Amino acid sequence: MFTQICDRLGIDVPIFAFSHCRDVVAAVSGAGGFGVLGATAHSPRGLEIDLAWIDEQTGGRPYGVDLLLPAKFADVGAVLADGGAGPADKAAARPPIPPEHEAYLADLLERYDVPPLPEHLSRRGGSLSVSPEAAGSLLDVAFRHPISLVASALGPPPAELTEQAHARGIVVAALVGTVEHARRQQAAGVDLIVAQGTEAGGHTGTVSTMVLVPEVVRAVSPTPVLAAGGIVTGAQMAAAIALGAQGVWCGSVWLTTHEAETDPAVQRKMLAASSSDTVRSRSLTGKPARMLRSAWTDEWESPDAPPALQMPLQTILTAGAQQRVSRAAGREGSGAQQLATYFVGQGVGLLDRVRPAREVVADMVAEYLEVAGRFAAQLAD
């Protein structure tokens, strides 16, 4: 299969793989698709290491980088999730977290009997680069590598980002959840728009993929559009192309691949989950994000829970707790296992086994061709 976006980016199939795992990015690009590394949680040094590795593994195959650039956030710079300071001021204190939030989280972990971390383990969190200044330091790193695309989520990319990318021949993409956002992104000079329905994992809006994609395609033509949200099969990819998209942007399907860094306890939950086992929650980042429903999401929706803090303060609050939960979640029936969650879309109900990422790409293409063949047969004389 081949669409115009394949020609523009030099890829064989229009399957875009968003992942925080460099192994998935390299595997999908190596299989003829387009891997996109989620870099918001990276430090500049960590991003340099990962991009150098991807360069080596892909052998010149194209790939991209995704940054989280919300229009509204608590301006705390590149704050470390373990409460340390960003590179601008390493001696700065942790941003103020309301005492009631700290108390609620401590009580939650105690009620579910989540053990503390061993003393020799620090709370490793990485930086939350959601401000233009913090993202700029990551872009400086990314632009030193042969990336073909930079994507912006949760808001129009800063004009400087777009200008720098275009000057280097790099495609600028942006994720949207409404047609209004799509028009705004087009006006900002974005080259590729990802219409992400509410079925998607992570930060998402409320409009379904089936409705959003054709609406965005109509609104921003001739700017190319990718479909996202609940897409994990080749049949769904065929549907997206039929709606006018030039390809698909997938995230959840890679979480159950061999290459994924998904916590084993969470991955088991995903393989057993149905499409009804996800929920949009502010409990991890402060903005609505779809994830596995668990005791964690239920507790943060309870009447006793304080409201989620603004991004990135909610992540700063919960990062250490999440590390404790992940470390203890492997014990069957434990409180930590009940709390364990992660971002995933409603397509999780179609994920029933662990496969190599390359096999996922091949299976999607094969199923797409099968569906396209059925379409062709329906038109035969």
Residues carrying CATH 3.20.20.70, the chain: 4-74+128-259+351-379
State how beta strands 63-68 and 34-38 pair: parallel
**Residue 74, pLDDT score:** 58
Q: Is the dihedral of CA 159, 164, 168, 173 positive or negative?
A: negative
Tokens linked to 29: 């690009």
**Residue 156, pLDDT score:** 85
**Residue 188, pLDDT score:** 94
Residues 6+ apart with CB under 8 A from 279: 290, 291, 292, 293, 297
Residues 6+ apart with CB under 8 A from 268: none
The whole-angstrom separation of Cα 323 and Cα 116 is 10
**Residue 157, pLDDT score:** 86
Please choose, from the candidates 225, 260, 220, 251, the residue with its C-alpha nearest in 3D space to the C-alpha of residue 240. 225
The whole-angstrom separation of Cα 46 and Cα 215 is 38
In tens digits, the chain (381 residues) has pLDDT values of: 789 999 999 999 999 999 999 999 999 999 999 999 999 889 999 999 999 999 999 999 999 999 987 656 555 554 444 433 344 444 345 668 999 999 999 999 999 999 999 877 755 444 455 566 777 889 999 999 999 999 998 778 888 889 999 999 999 999 999 999 999 999 999 999 999 999 999 999 999 999 999 999 999 999 999 999 999 999 999 999 999 999 999 999 999 999 999 999 999 999 999 999 999 999 999 999 999 999 999 999 999 999 999 988 999 999 999 999 999 999 999 999 999 999 999 999 999 999 999 999 999 999 999 999 999 999 875
Please return the burial class of 253, using the count of CB atoms within 10 Å of its CB with bins 0-12, 13-18 and 19+: buried
**Residue 235, pLDDT score:** 98
Does the 4-74+128-259+351-379 domain belong in CATH 3.20.20.70? yes
Please choose, from the candidates 350, 147, 151, 155, the residue with its C-alpha nearest in 3D space to the C-alpha of residue 237. 350
Contact between 1 and 365 (Cβ < 8 Å): yes
Question: Which residue type does 58 have?
Answer: T
Alpha helices in the chain (DSSP H): 4-9, 22-30, 44-58, 99-111, 132-142, 159-167, 179-187, 209-220, 234-242, 264-272, 295-300, 313-328, 335-339, 357-379
**Residue 46, pLDDT score:** 95
Task: Give long-range contacts, CB 8 A cutoff, 24+ apart: 371-380.
Answer: 371/234, 371/235, 371/238, 372/1, 372/238, 375/238
